[in-house]
Amino acid sequence: MVMDKDLFADPLYRIDSRQLRHFLAAAKCKGFTAAAESLNITQPALSRSIQALEQSLGVKLIERSSKVFDLTRYGHLLFEKGRYIETELGHTVSEIEALKRGHTGKISLGVGYASVSYLAEVIHEFQTLRPNISLRVVTDSMEANYEALLAGKLDLICTALNFPSNSSLIIDRTITSRNIILVSSDHALATKKAVDPAELTEYPWAFFTDDRMGYQRVSTYFAANGVEPPSATVEINTIEGMCALLKRGQYIASAPAIVMRYVKETGITLCEAKTRGDFWSTEIGIAYPRQAQRPGGLDSLIGLLKKQLTSLEANHPLE
């Protein structure tokens, strides 16, 4: 194999970890015989290893004579710094092993705006099972989460899955949630048995920030009914903010039906405006990179998210 000559200009390529360990042992034992015994190698093999290290560095590390074993000024420097390198390398290997077993680490999870209806329970259960793994949660639009996952900025997303198939991802379509029109309980449309599409355009609309798919679906619904789609009066990036806005005015918003669980639990007085004709349904699930070895703990988090979503569908019908 041909190696780039520039690589050898990098000091890291001039120090072999095995040779460094041999040198440190000799320096600690202040002699080759005791060091070779501690390493379980022959004295000539130890001497050759240290000589190879000296050749790589281009300096003499040890003053050799029949009576005296001493380090040169270069040897003293490498001994002092090398001990830290050896210690840090040991810690790093231990951390990698812990990460592989899922004992420590960090997972970045991207979720959709409606995740507040189930996320808190999942986080609590995950932290109980994996207390040493920190969880970074990003709430954003489906498009933004998808792009961040492909860019390697997220380990996993749990959101609407209306994005193109990608061979680099594993996609688990867990549930189908009907999208509904949300209004306050005292809204003029709240008590109507069937709201015409044209009536929905008479009120200000609130959309989730940068939710292109949501806006396109709303536009398609109105276009199918021969009505000019509404424009966004307000854009907001949390379901809590959306619900608070709807509660205090005659705003209208569209969201997956699973948010009604959050609405009921928090006591916010919102309801579904019954529309003429079908609105649409959204597939919600999990997506993550297709890779041989996933971050430790990720499988546990995937399982908990799937269990929670399935529970939502079973206990709170979404169709």
Of the ranges 3-12, 126-135, 188-197, 257-266, which one carries the lowest mean pLDDT score? Answer: 3-12
50: pLDDT strictly greater than 60 = yes
Domain boundary pick from 100, 117, 138? 100
pLDDT score at 263: 84
DSSP state of 7: G
pLDDT score at 3: 44
Output 100 or 191, whichever has higher pLDDT. 191
pLDDT score at 102: 54
Q: What's the whole-number average pLDDT of the chain?
A: 84
286: pLDDT strictly greater than 90 = yes
Closest to 257 (Cα-Cα) out of 236, 275, 271, 237: 271
What's the pLDDT band for 2 if we cut at 50, 70, 90?
very low
Q: Sign of torsion, CA 108 114 301 281?
A: negative
Q: Are residues 182 and 75 in the same domain?
A: no
The DSSP element (H or E) to which 306 belongs, if any, is helix 298-315
What's the pLDDT band for 317 if we cut at 50, 70, 90?
very low
pLDDT tens string 136-161:
999 999 999 999 999 989 999 999 99
Domain hosting 84: range is: 5-100
Q: Are residues 298 and 162 in the same domain?
A: yes
Asked if residue 8 lies in contact with residue 15, where contact means CB atoms within 8 angstroms, the answer is no
1: pLDDT strictly greater than 50 = no
SS3 track for 182-250: EEECCCCCCCCCCECHHHHCCCCEEEECCCHHHHHHHHHHHHHCCCCCCCEEEEECCHHHHHHHHHCCC
Domain count for the chain: 2
Q: How confident is the model over 7-13, as a mean pLDDT? A: 52
Domain boundary pick from 80, 100, 120? 100
Of the ranges 43-52, 62-71, 221-230, which one carries the lowest mean pLDDT score? Answer: 62-71
pLDDT score at 114: 81
101: pLDDT strictly greater than 70 = no
pLDDT score at 104: 55
Domain boundary pick from 100, 135, 159? 100
Asked if residue 295 lies in contact with residue 152, where contact means CB atoms within 8 angstroms, the answer is no
Query: Which two tokens mark 234?
Result: 């307000």
Assign residue 54 the CATH number of its domain.
1.10.10.10
Q: Are residues 78 and 119 in the same domain?
A: no
What's the pLDDT band for 125 if we cut at 50, 70, 90?
very high
pLDDT tens string 64-85:
765 678 899 999 999 888 887 8
Q: Are residues 87 and 130 in the same domain?
A: no
Assign residue 166 the CATH number of its domain.
3.40.190.290
| Chain centroid offset of residue 268 CA | 31
pLDDT score at 94: 56
What's the pLDDT band for 251 if we cut at 50, 70, 90?
very high
